[in-house]
């Protein structure tokens, strides 16, 4: 009977190579990975290897003959995956080496099997010394690209080491309870009956954090929409938006729909919500979330930098304008969610940040034209880099002629209703950092309000 480790390592190597050499997202690569019965194991190995790739690859490279030239991508990925299992798992090292040799053959790299065997045997014997060489460089030890480590250091000099350490941790599984259907205490009791341990953060009224992750199918009444998976920091968006029954609301860049549903939950009654995304396929995920949670919204395919739909015209729902509340959850570098998506550190480039900032500015400029007098726009990103956050708001406010007031960070925190542990007050908005006292992912929020007159 074949060792299941072989198939897992081979599939994980394919995923890693797809990310490193083809620029695919790990989620997209994992959808193609292995049999369903192996998928959880493949995911764990692949994401763990990607998380530590920039530490493990230099260690393995010390064992390679430079004269041999560049390894084939899947062979290099296999060496990193096996090194990850040797260094970070409890699996017997020799079994991992044997499985990796067989995985090379499974990948069709017969001639590489001997090299894989030799390199990994040496890695088992010498890994402490090999990793000590790598770890002499704090950036390599933290497995971050140098440009990103420098950017974090400039932005958050006091917190940089903690942020990068948090990026290498496994994130908690956080839930959002639909408080229109039950309360946290009652849902905690349902979790306890199901043998699932959780805590309730004092500052986030609908949030629960599980002691250990579970399959969503084991969450009580998940399919009935009583609970959703959502980071506690992301749950702030709907609170800060301050929605009320009867309001006309725009959720721009809405996919996958977690915030859309939460806004509807917070509205406390009927409201007119339009959810947009530039990608029709991504809107299907919004629809799935709405259907599961028994909520309704109008879904519109549109480029929110100019309002144009798939046919080049502005959809009627946007042309009408008059939104009382707008959530602009802008596309960004996602540097605040690296612990959940470790492939970000391999996929992002320093040049991406300026490009994202230009997109974010264009989104803001268009979204404000849709805001009613007296309305509120909440700008949100899952970035921790000021170039996508404070700098975008500063640049926008300096150039706009719209009658807008920026809500002070202290005022914005007051809207949240409870002190948020570890929240950083910036010049324009509020920043949560990964691994801060609130134990959230990294999120940025800034709020703009339009004068009731709607004109100067």
Tell me how crowded residue 93 is: count the other CB atoms within 10 A of its CB. 18
Known catalytic residues are 382
- Listing DSSP states for 71-109 in one string gives PPHHHHHHHHHHHHHHHHS-S-HHHHHHHHHHHHHHTT-
Give the 3-state secondary structure of residue 416: helix
What's the rounded Cα separation, in Å, for the pair 188 and 69?
57
Tell me how crowded residue 372 is: count the other CB atoms within 10 A of its CB. 17
For helices 280-292 and 258-267, give the axis angle rounded to 10 degrees. Answer: 40
Is the CB of residue 252 less than 8 Å from the CB of residue 280? no
When computed from its CA atoms, the radius of gyration of the chain, rounded to whole angstroms, is 24
Is the CB of residue 132 less than 8 Å from the CB of residue 42? no
Give the 3-state secondary structure of residue 323: strand
Is the CB of residue 241 less than 8 Å from the CB of residue 376? yes
């Amino acid at each position: 009977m074949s060792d299941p480790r072989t198939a897992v390592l081979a599939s994980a190597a394919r995923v890693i190579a797809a990310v490193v050499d083809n620029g695919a997202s790990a989620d997209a690569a994992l959808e193609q990975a292995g049999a369903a019965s192996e998928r959880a194991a493949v995911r764990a190995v692949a994401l763990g290897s990607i998380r530590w790739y920039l530490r493990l690859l230099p260690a393995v490279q010390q064992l390679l003959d430079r004269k041999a030239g560049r390894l084939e991508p899947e062979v290099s990925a296999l060496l990193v995956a096996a090194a990850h299992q040797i260094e970070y798992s409890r699996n017997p090292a020799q079994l991992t080496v044997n499985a990796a040799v067989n995985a090379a053959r499974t990948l069709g790299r017969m001639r590489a099997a001997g090299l894989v065997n030799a390199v990994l045997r040496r890695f088992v014997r010498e890994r402490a010394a090999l990793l000590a060489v790598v770890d002499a460089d704090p950036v390599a030890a933290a497995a971050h690209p140098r440009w990103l480590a420098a950017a974090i250091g400039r932005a958050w000099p006091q917190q940089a080491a903690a942020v990068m350490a948090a990026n290498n941790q496994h994130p908690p599984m956080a839930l959002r309870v639909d408080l229109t259907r039950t309360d946290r205490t009652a849902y905690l009791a349902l979790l306890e009956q199901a043998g699932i341990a959780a805590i309730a953060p004092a500052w986030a009224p609908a949030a629960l954090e599980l002691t250990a992750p579970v399959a969503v199918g084991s969450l009580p009444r998940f399919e009935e929409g009583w609970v959703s998976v959502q980071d506690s920091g992301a749950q702030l968006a709907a609170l800060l938006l301050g929605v009320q029954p009867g309001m006309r609301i725009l959720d721009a860049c809405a996919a996958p729909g977690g915030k859309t549903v939460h806004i509807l939950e917070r509205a406390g009654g009927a409201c007119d919500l339009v959810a947009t995304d530039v990608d029709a396929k991504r809107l299907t995920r919004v629809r799935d979330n709405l259907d599961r949670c028994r909520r309704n919204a109008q879904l519109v395919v549109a480029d929110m930098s100019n309002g144009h739909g798939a046919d080049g015209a502005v959809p009627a729902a946007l042309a009408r304008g008059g939104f009382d509340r707008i959530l602009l959850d802008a596309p960004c570098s996602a540097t605040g969610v690296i612990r959940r998506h470790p492939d970000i550190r391999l996929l992002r480039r320093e040049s991406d940040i300026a490009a994202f900032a230009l997109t974010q500015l264009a989104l803001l400029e268009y979204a404000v034209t849709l805001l009613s007098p007296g309305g509120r726009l909440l700008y949100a990103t899952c970035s921790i880099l000021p170039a996508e956050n404070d700098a975008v708001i500063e640049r926008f406010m300096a150039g706009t002629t719209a009658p807008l007031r920026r809500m002070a960070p202290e005022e914005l925190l007051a809207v949240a209703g409870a002190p948020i542990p570890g929240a950083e007050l910036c010049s324009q908005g509020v920043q949560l950092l990964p691994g801060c006292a609130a134990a959230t992912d990294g999120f940025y929020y800034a709020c703009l309000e339009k004068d009731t007159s709607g004109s100067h």
